[in-house]
Structure 1
Amino acid sequence: MRYILLLIFAFFGTLATAQDWEDQQLFGPSNPARTLRVISSTDTSFFAPIIAQFLAQNPQLAVEYLVTSTTALDQTFRQSPQSYDVVISSAMDLQFKLVNDGHAHKVEDISHPDWAQWRQSLFAFTTEPAAIVVNRQAFEGHPIPGTRQELIQALRARPDVFRNRLGTYDVRQSGLGYLFATQDARSTETYWRLMEVMGSMGLNLYCCSGDMINDLTTGKIVVAYNVLGSYASARKDAQDILEIVLPSDFPTTMMRTGFVSSHSRHPEFAAAFIRFLAGLQLENNGQDGFPLPPLSPARDIERQPTISLGPALMTYLDSLKKQNFLQEWENAVVQ
């Protein structure tokens, strides 16, 4: 019997350590009444102040915050949905499909704009544009491109400066990168011309915005395409090095979303966390150094096209469409 127990403990211990988290931190008292497990694609540095404020109002709780990539988050949650209380991700399409597949608990008593929620189950709490971020040193004496077409012209004019020093998401691995790429491709053929030009010069592919920004600051790359502007803005140490460009031809703007898992062991506390998060963003509205960009007012949403929360998000999650898109992307980028 003792050996059986040892095998059981060993099995569950292996499961507990199998996930390779980018970060895993526990916030709150050492002996809490309840511990919320939050799985997220957002770096801990952005969420630590939010969690601290939440726990100040709920001192009986603790929060375990687990960070992984958008694609890994979707896969990990689907494999063990009962293990998590709150799910937060920048990949709006993957989040929407999780909700559509019945993985979200409704939070009915929450005040939130209609355009920033879906059926009281999925809630947006930031508005964040995809940006072209450049290392200023590479553009000394030259204009910084303001559109995708201008970026193409800049790369073609000085290929020796940019060869092997360009970066973007690997859309085969990054859920957010795939979302941005499909939205870009739907908007204009310029996207495919840009990918072909960048691919021909040797394109560095990344899982995450943070890694791209790190390499931008060191000069390993000098242009990052479709990187999250909010992550670049947060790098106060690199403000003199980096230039954030929101393309004027057509902006691609996502909303970071969260939901309460329908399998949550503490749904009432998980709902309280979502209410707090949504309310805090609207109340702060970007003031007081809040770590994440707020939801834009409705009038700004109309001026700056934002990816909408709705069934259209799942178009490119269709297996055949995704296969065809990735094949076309590889043909353009992997040269």
Structure 2
Amino acid sequence: MNVQGLWRRCATMIALFLWALPVAGQEATQRFVAADAAPQTSLLVRSTTDISIFAPALEAFVTQFPTVQIQYEQWGSNALYSDSLSACEGQSLPADIVISSGVHQMVDLVNRACASEYRSDLTAQLPAARIWRDELWGITREAAVIIYNTDLISAEDAPRTRFDLLDLMRRPSDDLIGKIATYDVEASGLGFLFAFMDSQEAATFGGLLEGFARVDAVATCCSAEIIEGVESGQYKIAYNVLGSYVESVQHKNLGVIHPEDYTMFLSRGLMIPKGASQRETAGVFLDFLLSPQGRAVLSKSTLIHDNNSDETSTTLSAERYIPIGPTLLVAMDKQRRGRFIAKWRDTFGMDAQE
């Protein structure tokens, strides 16, 4: 073999090695293909949704469309936003579909012209709060809940409202010191969105921050970590946890509360990037998720809470739906975000992230 041929072989081996390495920010990956199928199309899906929860929908899709295989990548919301923005600017290869619970980040991507348009009979049936510019669609309906360890918090003390939680944190006892958890708004795009929406909606938000500081509440990154912490007794209560992740498996000692003053509902946003190589198949996938069959699978996987609820409810209702649209761009304003995070760091005694 001559030098040029050897160089080409080495370059190919290096490329294959680098392809096999996990991408920074990517948490897990899995391939979905129907049994005995010979797929002709590969659909690359990048999403913040845990593989274990989204797998039934992915399996149902490839079973119905066996000529398509799905390469699914699970990401953290902040990393997925950065990756999608990089792809939009031509600095990396885009996915065919991006799905994120950090809906404000998705709205920003659409606003930056990073998405492709798509229309169908099924997308046209979506309520206004779950579609924007035919470029971003809400595919789930998930609640932000309070969870508590039933072995450590009595049913009488379980906070049914934010006012109840405030009362608990204001007690002179040290029982809750270091025992209340919520998302770290810098590490979690979802956590930032929930906290920011709270600050816009709740007269109790300032009191909650004061209470969190009083009991040395813990801000941490991820739904799974928070749920496991409450279940193990590391924490007694967790605030603003994504209910779909709690309800996806049975827990012997977890109580789940939909706050009675108001419960926030989130719809994960799905976008077809402008550089997607499989736009047509991406549209087929979106329509499947919006179809009765797809919604039934998502409901069974706890990603759609109460399939028949009214998503156009007013702010006077106990349900507050986070709408997909330009109003969420306020949460992406750099100065406003900086002030909000500074207040959060002060509350939780956190140093600025590098």
User: Normalization by structure 1: what TM-score?
Assistant: 0.91
Compute the displacement of 1:191 (Å).
1.5
Change (3 A) 1:195 1:235: farther
Q: Is 2:114 aligned against 1:103?
A: yes
Question: Is the CA contact (8 Å cut-off) linking 1:126 and 1:296 kept in structure 2?
Answer: no
Runs of 5+ unmatched residues, structure 1 = none
Letter in structure 1 aligned against 2:233: G
In the TM superposition, what are the counterparts of 1:273-292 in structure 2 within 5 Å?
Answer: 273-280=285-292, 284=296, 289-292=300-303
Letter in structure 1 aligned against 2:51: T
2:217 corresponds in structure 1 to 203
Change (3 A) 1:7 1:129: same
In the TM superposition, what are the counterparts of 1:157-168 in structure 2 within 5 Å?
Answer: 157=171, 159-168=173-182
Question: Is the CA contact (8 Å cut-off) linking 2:25 and 2:76 kept in structure 1?
Answer: no
In the TM superposition, what are the counterparts of 1:210-221 in structure 2 within 5 Å?
Answer: 210-221=224-235
Q: Is 2:25 aligned against 1:14?
A: no
CA distance in 2, matches of 1:38, 1:317: 24
Letter in structure 2 aligned against 1:3: W
Query: Going by fraction, where is helix more abundant, 1 or 2?
Result: 1
CA distance in 1, matches of 2:295, 2:180: 38
Structure 1 residue corresponding to 2:240, chosen from 226, 233, 238: 226
Compute the displacement of 1:110 (Å).
3.6
Compute the displacement of 1:283 (Å).
5.1
Question: Is the CA contact (8 Å cut-off) linking 1:286 and 1:292 kept in structure 2?
Answer: yes
Compute the displacement of 1:48 (Å).
0.8
Superposition RMSD on alpha carbons, in Å? 2.3
2:343 corresponds in structure 1 to 328
Question: Is the CA contact (8 Å cut-off) linking 1:134 and 1:216 kept in structure 2?
Answer: yes
Which is worse superposed, 71-80 or 43-52?
71-80
User: Normalization by structure 2: what TM-score?
Assistant: 0.86
Secondary structure of residue in 1 paired with 2:158: coil
Q: Is 2:11 aligned against 1:3?
A: no
Q: Is 2:304 aligned against 1:293?
A: yes
Secondary structure of residue in 1 paired with 2:152: helix
2:126 corresponds in structure 1 to 113
CA distance in 2, matches of 1:307, 1:279: 22
Structure 2 residue corresponding to 1:25, chosen from 30, 54, 63: 30
In the TM superposition, what are the counterparts of 1:174-213 in structure 2 within 5 Å?
Answer: 174-213=188-227
CA distance in 2, matches of 1:325, 1:250: 22
Question: Is the CA contact (8 Å cut-off) linking 1:71 and 1:173 kept in structure 2?
Answer: yes
Compute the displacement of 1:79 (Å).
2.2
2:79 corresponds in structure 1 to 72
Question: Is the CA contact (8 Å cut-off) linking 2:161 and 2:261 kept in structure 1?
Answer: yes
Question: Is the CA contact (8 Å cut-off) linking 1:35 and 1:61 kept in structure 2?
Answer: yes
Structure 2 residue corresponding to 1:57, chosen from 44, 49, 64: 64
Change (3 A) 1:283 1:64: closer
Compute the displacement of 1:197 (Å).
1.7
Question: Is the CA contact (8 Å cut-off) linking 1:282 and 1:294 kept in structure 2?
Answer: no
Secondary structure of residue in 2 paired with 1:105: coil
Letter in structure 2 aligned against 1:160: D
1:241 corresponds in structure 2 to 253
Compute the displacement of 1:286 (Å).
7.1
2:333 corresponds in structure 1 to 318
Question: Is the CA contact (8 Å cut-off) linking 2:230 and 2:237 kept in structure 1?
Answer: yes
Question: Is the CA contact (8 Å cut-off) linking 2:28 and 2:74 kept in structure 1?
Answer: yes
Change (3 A) 1:47 1:282: closer
Identity of aligned residues (%): 27
Letter in structure 1 aligned against 2:53: F
Secondary structure of residue in 2 paired with 1:139: coil
Structure 2 residue corresponding to 1:34, chosen from 33, 41, 47: 41
* Cα deviation code 1:93-134 (max 9, x no counterpart): 011111111121111124232322112111111121211111
Change (3 A) 1:88 1:295: farther
Compute the displacement of 1:196 (Å).
2.4
Runs of 5+ unmatched residues, structure 2 = none
Question: Is the CA contact (8 Å cut-off) linking 2:127 and 2:311 kept in structure 1?
Answer: no
Question: Is the CA contact (8 Å cut-off) linking 2:46 and 2:99 kept in structure 1?
Answer: yes
Compute the displacement of 1:73 (Å).
0.9
Structure 2 residue corresponding to 1:137, chosen from 151, 154, 169: 151
CA distance in 1, matches of 2:31, 2:297: 27
